[in-house]
Chain A
Amino acid sequence: ELKVEQNPLFLSMQEGKNYTIYCNYSTTSDRLYWYRQDPGKSLESLFVLLSNGAVKQEGRLMASLDTKARLSTLHITAAVHDLSATYFCAVAVMEYGNKLVFGAGTILRVKS
């Protein structure tokens, strides 16, 4: 059974600092997703990572995937308050269509 672990679960950081959120998963997969959720809102798609070594960047966020280590990272560069949200990684269960298994989420608070 696929399990997805995120850490840390809570991250409080100062504006301008860098930090990384980690996502480990237990079995082989062909897709990994990062989502953002603001309080009371739905999930916003950030990145889709498909292959080993994939790296995608959008603004201050950069996601990477190491399929051999079954590890993805979401790196935050020079954090700003607007990045405060909950970030989820989700891994597709192979041969099960679009079934995703989500991590517990990382609550990010960026302090001004």
Chain B
Amino acid sequence: QVQLQESGPGLVKPSETLSLNCTVSDDAIAGDYYWSWIRQPPGKGLEWIASISHSRSTYYNPTLKNRPTISIDTTKNQVSLRLRSVTAADTAIYFCARRSRVPASWFDPWGQGTLVTVSS
């Protein structure tokens, strides 16, 4: 079973850029899947951010207004997320997850998540 592990700084200052990595186990990153970022503000619901394939085809949540950038490095088995111009509203647990090629499909499995706090 593929495993995903998120990593990155737990604290980011307002207006700066949030950067996170997701390491995928067992070279599974080259498979026919989309690798996704999803976030959850403390005590609130889930929000899909972006997805990317091994061939670098990308999808983004339009409500985030061009702030996120998702990328993939198959040599490092990593998927990365950069989110520009963060505010306190971006404070959340950030999860990475796998999805099939079909945009309407489900996310499975998920990483354990990493908490990012935006504060000065």
Do A and B associate with each other? no
Q: Hey, which bits of chain B sit against chain A, CB under 8 A?
A: none
